[in-house]
Structure 1
């Protein structure tokens, strides 16, 4: 038959369809196997639309020869997919990037369909070619927008998680947790630093405030990190490895601290990003990060897309800066609030301590008093107590509760305490005292309502007489043997609401009897009614062993293992005879600073003199070491309790750190660290956990 040209073969195969195919608006290419080349192909037909799409004219396209894919500029991926379709002899759609001869690039879609022409028994392929560049551009734009959205969501999720971590400011390592989160997600390493006597890394949200000193412009100019600390605006400082930080500067100290971090972060690019952690008025510290090297500043993987597939998303350099800045701002606000709360806490604690009495001895009575504010508030509240000797024959007792848990409540409490004390010195009858207090409170316009119980204990030949009046307060309890009497008589309205109808009740108190007065924090709970709490308190008072007033009080406090309100408790026990030793106890709340050490030594020395404890020197040394440990290594609040049961002295120091005390190995080359060795030599000591920290106790022989 001889060799036919491509045009002749096309005429034979397609016949009358040729003219129709040439005029189609879509590009059409008909391809058949090249009989002269094994495995090759030749173009039988390509219309004008197809030639235009490939960037060729008709002659160029028809002369492409067997190497048609290379000649038309089809990319490797597209050529491979077309070859696979031919080998499978199945219809296929291939999207390929075509590079035209003029250098321009276009995305083409080829719909390949195999056909058999019965007249000549020859297999051909028809490819319908369309320009899909706009569709690809839209899809790529959607993908870019999706990735940007995912990166934004990821950045927001990091900041949201930081906010969640900051909701637990009491955590000892909250800053470390935030740094670990950002390190995993955004940078090769990061951490928080504060400037005290020296720059140091910190983990707690409440720490020493940044050291402030007078700094001249020359020092700021040569110390960029110090300049950042002295500023009041958010900006990011980048330190490069080849910079000279200057000897003795804060910048040099920071780079020195970061040397081991560089060794542990091989992916870091060698530079350091430093951001100020800003409070309301000043920088509180530094947020320091080592960014990743390479084209991006972060590597984030394991993020799930909407269809559940795992993606690898990279936060770009400018986004890293945004995330770091947001984290620094959130931490700065939290640190500022925490430090403000700490200052308010110290103020409130000082105010509360100044208003509560430091319990003195009451002759011939065993008295135990206790006060604890609700730890959820600012360590200050409106509950109070007072036990005072009016004269040689009479002791006055007051327990009160002002509504609220703030400084205003404490101030109102202080006013009421002063008023009650003043009238108690002049008047004997409890109802008369409360009536006068009502009148004065009305004239003073005290902003908070309050309840209280005022009672007097007067000595008689064979015992004592208790006379009391209540102003909206919970009833006291009297235990005699195995019987508990609820002192619920003469109830009246809250202070300031009486119209002159206050009354006084009276009951005899015998040797061995125990009186218990308290505020509602001892019995009130969200999960039970007030009546149930009172019933439980009555039963516990009836069954508790009665070695002394302190023993009774400590047992009753078990009702308030997790108090939901302030608590004030007064327990008075009338000794049962000459052989009955009166256990003497005192309590103090101390501030978390060095002044508390001297105060504790003074109180112990004075108590030893009053109670006849012989070894006062040993007791002073012991209390000095225990309070020092609580102030330096513990957390507020710090409390001191002394107990003299008749022989020796028991010292208890409480703080908010649950970590037990540690006796270090002795080393002549080390300065300090001998405190517990001193305690061990002078006393028998131990410790026990509490719901909010620990108590370290020591018994000194007297």
Structure 2
């Protein structure tokens, strides 16, 4: 309020009182006239308007030049218009009129400019008391333009939203990276697709391309391209001109495309196959999907097909969503390439290594059991190896060794060393001179890997006795067991292979009937939490307590107690001199045996022979049924599975339990045979002879069968 009269300074307003409280400055001069006030309102840059409430609404009766410029009309043309509108209420709403009349208030309004643009503002409205020159219902409104504030707020909100999207994208990529650590799990890719569906898109599906296009829940590195549901073969790429998906897989048409699943696609193309698999039942819905290539190092390894939320194809994905889809595809492709590359190297090394290991040895006059397994935790291939040689009817050579490393080079070095030992073992019967010759040749070959081994020659004697002659080249000592007493055959340790200086010693031990000799590599006894000396002591303790009376039972007992969770490759050879009472009556053992068999037809015969020998050793009657069951199970694993086949036998006390494991997770099925050709009755035979079932395993599946004695008459069994 403007004072109409002058005031004198008081004690509270003196300079000495400054800083101690509010100071009232004196105002002097006459009060401004109505004309002066009108001129001031007209000259200010703050938009002002005088409004009047009428039965027809709230109308403008006067505006200053600032408001006229804001709306783009001449001041005299605005009078009578409704250029100020409250977006919340209608101008004719009685409640709105009463609200304006009550007193000072603030309202959101929209200025309707002459060019059609609406400017969002806020109006500070006050009622003017009625007087001689002021009609009732007069209002004065100061208008504040919110454009700058709203623009800054919108920009800030956009920045916050963008930052949130970036954080969400980074979080999603981090979770995808965690899932990619187990991309070769059965449902690894499905989990990544589910994560995309929860955060980014409506639907996501992975399809891998290797000898055909196939839907993938997880990666199958060993037999990529083989699945229950697979698309056209790789040869269909010749039809790429009519197939946009084929061009994408061929790498000739970019790395992303929009595919309409409802469109007609040529028969036999990838686009037609995808449409048949992914088309929605909603005929009126948007059927467009985004196909993102999953790139490998040299060529595409598959596709990621996503359906955006709400449809719309590629246009429905914003920049951050497109980036997420592309990054996920690239990371998945790199992981798949790494898994397949490692798997190829591993299978090459393992195949090389197993090809050089002998089959289960059959030696006249000796009971021999052999075992080899790479480290299951790291799934690596190393240089552990063994060999059993029938040098002549009276002499048997047994060797076990270890080459440093877990790769193809270690396996190749092992193969070279095995060949060298074999070549000299048949010419020289004494172990020491054999190792001398091996040293010379091995050193001349300049092989970079260090290696150790024990070579022994067993010579048949009188009365079932044998003489063991051996020489060690830096390897762990053999273990000799007689009547529950053990001793380590340390002999002359000697240097590693290739570092001998000539004249390696040969030690000799007489073996009586019932004696056992254990050859082994360090994976059987060495652990991070104990010393090697403690591991050797544990081996002696366990071996002394073994009650099994056959080489396989002894070996399985040692493995079950010492190598349940090995930290390195394990190779074991158990050699037993048969006793005079080898009917094995009353022998107590874990009654468990296992074999690792290559996925080849010859393994079927080996498995049958192993079951017959085991039934004889355990005195399980009616071995013919078990022989027939294991033959069918191993044959199915060889024909329909992949990877190596694991055979395990258990004596359950009331029968024999057979377990066969392979890397194919697809369950076995019983069929009615193949009309017009032989085969297809395998599981029917198993059903007649045994109770059977299957379960998933970490590496694929296990099919088990518990043989029922006397299921078929002898004539039927041998038909």
TM-score, normalised relative to structure 2: 0.75
Aligned to 2:118: 105
Aligned to 2:383: 382
SS state at 1:547 partner: coil
SS state at 1:570 partner: strand
Contact 1:381 1:404 in 2 (8 A): yes
Aligned to 1:333: 334
Distance 1:127 1:91 in 2: 10
SS state at 2:426 partner: helix
Q: CA deviation at 1:537?
A: 2.6
Aligned to 2:440: 439
Q: CA deviation at 1:116?
A: 9.5
Q: CA deviation at 1:88?
A: 11
Aligned to 2:660: 653
Q: CA deviation at 1:573?
A: 1.8
* Cα gap change, 1:57 to 1:408, in 2 (>3 Å): same
Aligned to 1:350: 351
Aligned to 1:589: 597
Contact 1:276 1:286 in 2 (8 A): yes
Aligned to 1:448: 449
Q: CA deviation at 1:410?
A: 0.4
Distance 2:597 2:481 in 1: 29
Which residue, out of 614, 624, 638, partners 2:645?
638
**Where in structure 2 are the equivalents of 1:423-572 lying within 5 Å?**
423-461=424-462, 463-500=465-502, 502-558=504-560, 559-572=562-575
Q: CA deviation at 1:656?
A: 3.9
Contact 1:686 1:698 in 2 (8 A): no
* Cα gap change, 1:269 to 1:150, in 2 (>3 Å): farther
Q: How many residues align?
A: 653
Distance 1:500 1:293 in 2: 81
Aligned to 1:679: 686
Q: CA deviation at 1:286?
A: 3.8
Aligned to 1:3: none
Q: CA deviation at 1:552?
A: 1.5
Distance 1:689 1:240 in 2: 38
Q: CA deviation at 1:228?
A: 3.6
Contact 1:28 1:46 in 2 (8 A): yes
Contact 1:74 1:99 in 2 (8 A): no
- What CA deviation, in whole Å up to 9, does each residue of 1:329-355 have, x standing for no partner? 333333333333343343223211211
Contact 1:588 1:640 in 2 (8 A): yes
Contact 1:423 1:436 in 2 (8 A): yes
Distance 2:610 2:474 in 1: 36
* Structure 2 spans left out of the alignment, 5+ residues: 1-30, 710-716
SS state at 1:382 partner: coil
Q: CA deviation at 1:109?
A: 4.4
Distance 1:78 1:491 in 2: 105
* Cα gap change, 1:460 to 1:105, in 2 (>3 Å): same
Which residue, out of 203, 207, 216, partners 1:189?
203
Which residue, out of 226, 247, 254, partners 2:274?
254
Q: CA deviation at 1:577?
A: 0.9
* Cα gap change, 1:179 to 1:696, in 2 (>3 Å): same
Distance 2:696 2:548 in 1: 24
Deviates more, 1:101-110 or 1:490-499: 101-110
Distance 1:516 1:147 in 2: 69
Q: CA deviation at 1:328?
A: 3.4
**Where in structure 2 are the equivalents of 1:194-273 lying within 5 Å?**
200-206=214-220, 207-208=224-225, 214=235, 219-232=239-252, 234-240=254-260, 243-259=263-279, 262-263=280-281, 269-273=286-290
* Cα gap change, 1:328 to 1:658, in 2 (>3 Å): closer
Contact 2:361 2:370 in 1 (8 A): no
Q: 2:405 aligned with 1:404, yes or no?
A: yes
Q: 2:163 aligned with 1:163, yes or no?
A: no
Which residue, out of 139, 157, 163, partners 2:153?
139
Contact 1:234 1:278 in 2 (8 A): no
Contact 2:612 2:627 in 1 (8 A): no
Aligned to 2:28: none
Q: CA deviation at 1:639?
A: 3.5
* Cα gap change, 1:115 to 1:366, in 2 (>3 Å): farther
Aligned to 2:19: none
* Cα gap change, 1:665 to 1:227, in 2 (>3 Å): same
Distance 2:64 2:365 in 1: 121
* Structure 1 spans left out of the alignment, 5+ residues: 1-10, 299-314
Aligned to 2:10: none
Q: CA deviation at 1:318?
A: 5.8
SS state at 1:422 partner: helix
Aligned to 2:66: 49
Distance 2:422 2:44 in 1: 109
RCO higher in 1 or 2 (8 Å CA, sep ≥ 6)? 1
Aligned to 1:364: 365
CA RMSD of aligned residues (A): 4.8
Deviates more, 1:648-657 or 1:170-179: 648-657
- What CA deviation, in whole Å up to 9, does each residue of 1:395-420 have, x standing for no partner? 22211111111110001111111222
- What CA deviation, in whole Å up to 9, does each residue of 1:612-646 have, x standing for no partner? 999999888645531343246545332457999xx
Aligned to 2:632: 625
Contact 1:372 1:568 in 2 (8 A): yes
SS state at 1:426 partner: coil
* Cα gap change, 1:431 to 1:652, in 2 (>3 Å): farther
- What CA deviation, in whole Å up to 9, does each residue of 1:354-387 have, x standing for no partner? 1111132122221111001123556532000112
